[in-house]
Chains A and B, each alone.
Chain A
Amino acid sequence: MLDTQNLDNAKSMSIIVTKGSLDWAYPPFILGTTAAAMDVEVTMFFTFYGLTLLKKDLNLKFTTLGNPAMEMPMMGMHMPMPNMIGMVPGVGAAAGKMMKNLIKKKGVASIEELREAAIESEVKMIGCQMTLDLFEYDRKDMIDEMEIGGAATYMEKALRSDINLFI
Chain B
Amino acid sequence: MADQTLNAEGLNCPLPIIKAKKALKGMSAGQILEVRATDPGSVADFAAFCKQTGNELMSSSSEGDIYRFEIKRA
Using a CB–CB cutoff of 8 Å, the interface residues on chain A facing chain B are 30, 33-34, 37-39, 106-109, 113, 117, 120-121
| Interface assignment of B13: CB less than 8 Å from any CB of chain A | yes
Contact call A107/B15, Cβ cutoff below 8 A: yes
Contact call B11/A37, Cβ cutoff below 8 A: no
Which residues of chain B in 10-49 are interfacial with respect to chain A, using CB atoms and an 8 Å cutoff? 10-15, 17-18, 20-22, 39, 48-49
Q: Which of B12, B15, B49 contacts A38 (CB 8 A)?
A: B49
Main secondary structure of the interface of B (DSSP, over half): helix
| Interface assignment of B52: CB less than 8 Å from any CB of chain A | yes
Q: Which of B12, B14, B20, B22 contacts A106 (CB 8 A)?
A: B12
Contact call B10/A37, Cβ cutoff below 8 A: no
Between B11, B14, B21, B39, the greatest number of chain A beta carbons within 10 A of the residue's beta carbon is seen for: B14
| Interface assignment of B53: CB less than 8 Å from any CB of chain A | yes
Q: A117's closest neighbor in chain B, by CB? A: B18
B20: which A residues are within 8 A, CB to CB?
37
A107: which B residues are within 8 A, CB to CB?
10-12, 15, 39
Q: B17's closest neighbor in chain A, by CB? A: A37
A113: which B residues are within 8 A, CB to CB?
15
Q: Once bound together, how far apart are the Cα atoms of A39 and B25, in whole Å? A: 11
B53: which A residues are within 8 A, CB to CB?
37-39
A-B contact pairs, 30 of them (CB 8 A): A30-B13, A33-B14, A33-B18, A34-B17, A34-B18, A37-B14, A37-B18, A37-B21, A37-B53, A38-B17, A38-B21, A38-B48, A38-B49, A38-B52, A38-B53, A39-B52, A39-B53, A106-B12, A107-B10, A107-B11, A107-B12, A107-B39, A109-B11, A109-B12, A109-B15, A109-B18, A113-B15, A120-B22, A121-B18, A121-B21
